[in-house]
Amino acid sequence: MALLPILEYPDARLKRIASPVTEFTPAIKKLVNDMAETMYAAPGIGLAATQVDVHKRVIVIDVSQDKSDLKVFINPEIIEADGEIVGEEGCLSVPQYYDNVRRAAHVKVRAQDASGTPFELEATELLAVCIQHEMDHLKGIVFVDHLSQLKQMRVKSKMIKRHREAARA
């Protein structure tokens, strides 16, 4: 297992579009394990491969209180979405910034597990929000892209300042 470095906004690599996984090799299982370890260590409730600079359609999520319910989504597709929910989101690629985003309240997802076996899952509340947040990453979208241009400018300057200060320290 290994901890993977997480890209931080506004890194251009966060805009890359992830490719479908076509072969369920040991390397994919290792990626899933490393992503889970990285997510738990952060700590976060989800992580998309894009955030660790791997541009494949792989997501890990665990919204449980005790980190006991790891969910792996490979090649996820939303096959149904309805309702609306607005909730405060954060992102490991945008540390220390939180804002409200509107999402579908209920989604049905079709995906494959780490062995390539297809499954479907219905989600509401935080799990539904997290699935949509992670699937955005696979399309090169970060949650702040849903905010106003003014807010995006502010977050960008704040992050650039943070990176400048980290580089000096």
The footprint of ligand GNR (CB under 6 A) covers: 44-48, 51, 89-93, 129-130, 133-134, 137
Nearer to Ni ion, 21 or 130 (CB): 130
DSSP character for 144? G
Q: CB of residue 123 vs ligand GNR: minimum separation in angstroms?
A: 13
How far apart (Å, rounded) are the C-alpha atoms in residues 34 and 40? 10
Q: CB of residue 25 vs ligand GNR: minimum separation in angstroms?
A: 24
Q: CB of residue 49 vs Ni ion: minimum separation in angstroms?
A: 12
Q: CB of residue 142 vs ligand GNR: minimum separation in angstroms?
A: 8
Site string for Ni ion, 60-99 (x = CB under 5 A): -------------------------------x--------
> Which is catalytic among the residues 23, 37, 125, 134?
134
Q: What is the DSSP string of 27-50?
A: HHHHHHHHHHHHHHHTT-SEEEGG
DSSP character for 7? P
Nearer to ligand GNR, 48 or 155 (CB): 48
89 binds, among ligand GNR, Ni ion, none (CB under 5 to 8 A by kind): ligand GNR
129 binds, among ligand GNR, Ni ion, none (CB under 5 to 8 A by kind): ligand GNR
Active site residue 134: yes
Nearer to ligand GNR, 3 or 25 (CB): 3
- Interface with Ni ion (CB under 5 A): 91
Active site residues: 134
